[in-house]
Amino acid sequence: MKRSKLLNLLIFTSIFITSCAAPSIVYRGDYVPSSVDIFLPDSQKLSGKGLVQMHWSDETQVLNKNASSFTGGAVSMSIPLGSITKAISLEVYGNLFREGVSFSNEKEDGYTLIISPKVSSLDYYYDQLSNAGFAITPKVELSANIRVLDKNKNETFSRTYSSGMVKGDTYFLNTSPSEAINKVIHIAIHQVIKESFNDIRLSVK
């Protein structure tokens, strides 16, 4: 009996999410966590200016993907991974250089470092099972590859970062469940970009 009630609740919630979910999401600056913990005084920043470089196809990448959970699994959401990654990278890596950073689709000359970020995988979940079917926790798990070239365009750093399972705020009812996922996507991307920040700084000899 309890199992039947739980199944009915899961089905009802999934139908609700399907009916009210937005077909696409966008970059939201207010969803990006503070980067104050990686603030560096000028004396500790790298000299010159950095370049965040993403190929046009990566900058404009839109991932159309269904939730990896039963709840909301019928919904395909359009996720602008490229624009979110670009904006967060410019904000975070701008703290690494005394003259800040620029952006380009090409590997241009005249920069201290060229940093190329790319989210390589992403899964998102409307986790209702962990809440006995009565609430939903939005969750996101992603991986990103960060590649760095020096001023001579020689690769000096390449690493894949995993966010692990990042959880958002649990809710009982949300009229815009896709935005709950969107917020966690921003948090997860910021997390891996911020993690690479210190690694890149320490890798420069």
- Rounded to whole angstroms, the Cα distance separating 54 from 87 reads 11
Question: pTM of the full predicted structure?
Answer: 0.88
The CATH number of whichever domain residue 42 belongs to comes to 3.30.160.150
Confidence at residue 21, expressed as pLDDT on a 0 to 100 scale: 46
Domain that holds residue 45: 2-203
Q: What is the 3-state secondary structure (H, E, C) of 24-90?
A: ECCCCHHHCCCCHHHCCCHHHCECCCEEEECCHHHHCCCEEEECCCCCCCCCEEEECHHHHHHHHHH
Query: What are the residue ranges in the chain where pLDDT is below 50?
Result: 1-3, 5-16, 18-22
77/22 Cα distance (integer angstroms): 8
Domain count, the chain: 1
112-161 residue pLDDT tens: 999 999 999 999 999 988 876 679 999 999 999 999 999 999 999 999 99
Q: Is 34 left (phi over 0), alpha (psi -120 to 50) or beta?
A: beta
